[in-house]
Amino acid sequence: MSTFEWMDWARVVNNLQVDITSFCNARCGACVRNVDGDMVKPEIPMEHFDMEVWNRLVIDDTRGWFIIELTLNGNWGDPMMHPNLVEMLQTYCRYHPETALYIHTNGSMRTKKFWNKLGQVCRMFSNHAVVFAVDGLEDTHSIYRRKTDFNKIIENINAFVSGGGRAKVVMTCFEHNKHQVKDVEKIAFDSGCIGFNLRHTHGDNLEIKTVDGDYKIHGHYDIDEYDVLWEDRNDKPLSDLRDYHDYTDVIDDKLENKVDHKCPWYTDRKIQIDPWATVWPCCHTSLYGIDVVNHDLDLMVNEDSFMRARNDNSLKNQSLPDLLAGGWWRSDLNDAIEHAEWKQCRDICGICK
Instruction: State how far the Cα of 324 lies from the Cα of 279, in Å rounded to an integer.
Output: 9
Please tell me whether residues 169 and 81 are part of one structural domain: yes
Domain end call among 237, 253, 269: 253
Choose one of 223, 253, 283: the last residue of a domain.
253
Residues 214 and 160 reside in one and the same domain: yes
CA distance 116 to 165: 8
Judge if 230 and 270 occupy the same domain: no
Which residues form the domain of 199?
13-253
Whether 125 and 246 map to the same domain: the answer is yes
Domain boundary residue among 253, 268, 302?
253
Shared domain check, 296 and 226: no
Q: Does residue 7 form part of some domain?
A: no
Domain co-membership, 31 together with 151: yes
Q: Are residues 117 and 214 in the same domain?
A: yes
Do the domain assignments include residue 226? yes
Give the type of residue at 60: D
Query: Radius of gyration of the chain from Cα atoms?
Result: 20
137-160 tens-digit pLDDT: 999 999 999 999 999 999 999 999
Please say whether the beta carbons of 43 and 267 come within 8 A.
no
Beta-sheet strands, E only, within 44-88 = 69-72
Q: From first to last of its 353 residues, what are the pLDDT tens digits of the chain?
A: 345 578 899 989 999 999 999 999 999 987 888 888 889 999 899 999 999 999 999 999 999 999 999 999 999 999 999 999 999 999 999 999 999 999 999 999 999 999 999 999 999 999 999 999 999 999 999 999 999 999 999 999 999 999 999 999 999 999 999 999 999 999 999 999 999 999 999 777 788 988 888 999 999 999 999 999 997 665 544 444 444 444 445 455 545 556 778 899 999 999 999 999 999 999 999 988 888 766 766 654 557 888 888 888 999 999 999 999 999 999 889 888 888 888 888 888 888 87
**Residues 323 and 271 occupy one common structural domain:** yes
The CATH number of the domain holding residue 17 is 3.20.20.70
194, part of any domain = yes
DSSP string, 118-140: HHHHHTTSSEEEEEEE--SSTTT
Question: pLDDT by residue (tens digit) across 212-251?
Answer: 889 999 999 999 999 999 976 655 444 444 444 444 454 5
